[in-house]
Amino acid sequence: MSEKIKFTIDGKECFAEPGQNILDAATDNGVYIPALCHMRGIKPAGSCRLCNVKIAGRLMTACTTPVEHGMDIENDIPEIQGLRLAIIEMLFVEGNHFCPACEKSGNCELQALAYRYQMMVPRFPYEFPVKEIDASSPKLIIDRNRCILCKRCIRSFTDENGKNIFAFKKRGHKLQINIDAKLSANLSDEMAQKAMDICPVGAIIRKEKGFDQPIGTRKYDKVPIGSDIKSVI
Amino acid sequence: MSKPIVATTSLAGCFGCHMSLLDIDERILKLIELVEFNKSPIDDIKKFTKQCDIGLIEGGCCNSENVHVLKDFRKHCKILISFGECALMGGLPALRNGIPIKECLDEAYLNGPTVVNSNPDKILPNDDEIPMMLDKVYPCHEIVKIDYYLPGCPPRADLIWEALVALITGNELKLPYEVVKFD
């Protein structure tokens, strides 16, 4: 058995497996670091920047940085929490996030983070970009108005035969998520649900289903995101 | 000290936020003790008769009349509060923001399934008396300065109540997690 790595987050003594990234290690130690693009078990992308922490005075993304011996990590400090709120607000204004009309509302991680960080209204002007909806797949709708380009679906979802059905198209400001309509037609209902659950927002939505959970019973109606994290060390 | 004066209005909204305001149930009797209402659909006073302390704005700005009323509120109210998603970000009316205004008008008055045969002269509303539609729907804080925001669709009655009482009494506002929601 390899020896555990000892480090601290905001002064709290924590332990990690060698090679483990800060985000997963923090979660194991019962410390919540917010993230939209990272999921445990897939290769970190560091694209949403929400998991930024401060190490030796520098901002680093916790998902892409491996823990090292004696690291002193700053996480819950006003500077970083302020940056995170700003990122959440930017995500709200750069897409078209109509929460009242969204199937994912109440189960949406972006919305839940806005609740956790007590965003009342974004400080930035709304962009109202024009985005296309792709409803060509018989199983799933791709609503790019809500997509935050976290790449979770591309990085982690394959169909029953191990084939990717999501991909990026175009570059820069025009970058968009795309679905293979033909391959996705063969998805089982369970797999379609899995694809919808992987998406942190409401960009991947199952067809012929939605608004089936009453308000008050959804994932983030009563408890803030991250409140289920408990130390397993 | 005289009672604080409250004014309310619904711009490009559905009156759902005002319904939620009424949803404070019997606390409305307490509210009447706490404040005096001026221009508001609740007491049907159409024009400001005096300077107010608090203005509650429901709905965003989709036409010139909304902008006029909003600026009038800014002039007459010391504190302006945006309440509801439409006032905060445009809400459902803002779904048209990605569609050119001409296409919207054509669909509504010329080509839509319910009007296609009923407007043979192809008239679009263009009377001076009718407010002009804006190029898109704007959140209130992009038109005038807004002091406080109460999100929700509608904002929960408890949120409106707690916020108003805190503002009037000067007590600290403590919001439980459940009351601040965007839907």
Give pLDDT tens digits for B28-82.
999 999 999 999 999 999 999 999 999 999 999 999 999 999 999 999 999 999 9
Identify the structural domains of chain B with CATH numbers, from first to last. 5-96+136-179 (3.40.50.700)
In this predicted structure, what is the pLDDT of residue A3?
Answer: 85
Taking CB atoms and an 8 Å cutoff, what residues of chain A touch B151?
120-121
Which pairs count as long-range contacts for A76-85, CB under 8 Å and 24+ apart, including other chains? A76/A10, A77/A10, A79/A54, A80/A52, A80/A53, A80/A54, A81/A117, A83/A52, A83/A59, A84/A34, A84/A50, A84/A52, A84/A113, A84/A117, A85/A117, A85/A119
Kindly report the average pLDDT of chain A as a whole number: 95
Q: Do A121 and B88 touch (CB under 8 A)?
A: yes
Report if residue A40 sits inside a domain: yes
Q: What residues in chain B have their Cβ under 8 A from chain A's Cβ atoms?
A: 82, 85, 88-92, 94-95, 97-98, 136, 139, 141-142, 148-151, 153, 177-178, 180-183
CA–CA dist B31, B43 (Å, integer): 13
Domain interval for residue A22? 5-76
Q: What is the mean pLDDT of residues A127-142?
A: 95
Q: What is the mean pLDDT of residues A25-35?
A: 96
In this predicted structure, what is the pLDDT of residue A45?
Answer: 93
% of chain B exceeding 90 in pLDDT: 91
Q: Residue A137 is part of a domain; what is its CATH number?
A: 3.30.70
Q: Do B183 and A115 touch (CB under 8 A)?
A: no
Statement: residue A1 has pLDDT above 60: no
Give pLDDT tens digits for A174-231.
999 999 999 999 999 999 999 999 999 999 999 998 898 999 999 999 999 999 998 8
Given CB atoms, is A215 within the 8 Å cutoff of chain B? Answer: yes
Give pLDDT tens digits for A81-124.
999 999 999 999 999 999 999 999 999 999 999 999 999 999 99
- Please indicate, yes or no, whether residues A18 and A90 belong to a single structural domain of this protein: no
CA–CA dist A34, A76 (Å, integer): 11
Taking CB atoms and an 8 Å cutoff, what residues of chain B touch A98?
85, 89, 91-92, 94-95
What is the distance in angstroms between the Cα of A99 and the nearest Cα belonging to chain B? Answer: 6
Q: Do A100 and B182 touch (CB under 8 A)?
A: yes
Give pLDDT tens digits for B83-125.
999 999 999 999 999 999 999 999 999 999 999 888 999 999 9
CA–CA dist B46, B181 (Å, integer): 31
Distance spanning both ends of chain A, measured CA to CA: 15
Give pLDDT tens digits for A206-221.
999 889 899 999 999 9
User: Among A144, A229, A221, A211, which residue's Cα sits nearest to residue A179?
Assistant: A144
Q: Do B180 and A115 touch (CB under 8 A)?
A: yes
- Please report, as a single letter, which amino acid is at residue B151: P
Kindly report the average pLDDT of chain B as a whole number: 94
- Please indicate, yes or no, whether residues A67 and A135 belong to a single structural domain of this protein: no
- Please indicate, yes or no, whether residues A117 and A43 belong to a single structural domain of this protein: no
Return phi, psi of residue B121, to 5°: -85, 0
ipTM over 0.90: yes
Q: Do B177 and A215 touch (CB under 8 A)?
A: no
* Exposure on the CB side of residue B141, measured as CA atoms within 13 A: 22
For residue B79, the cross-strand partners are B54
- Nearest residue, CB atoms, B95 vs list A98, A105, A215: A98
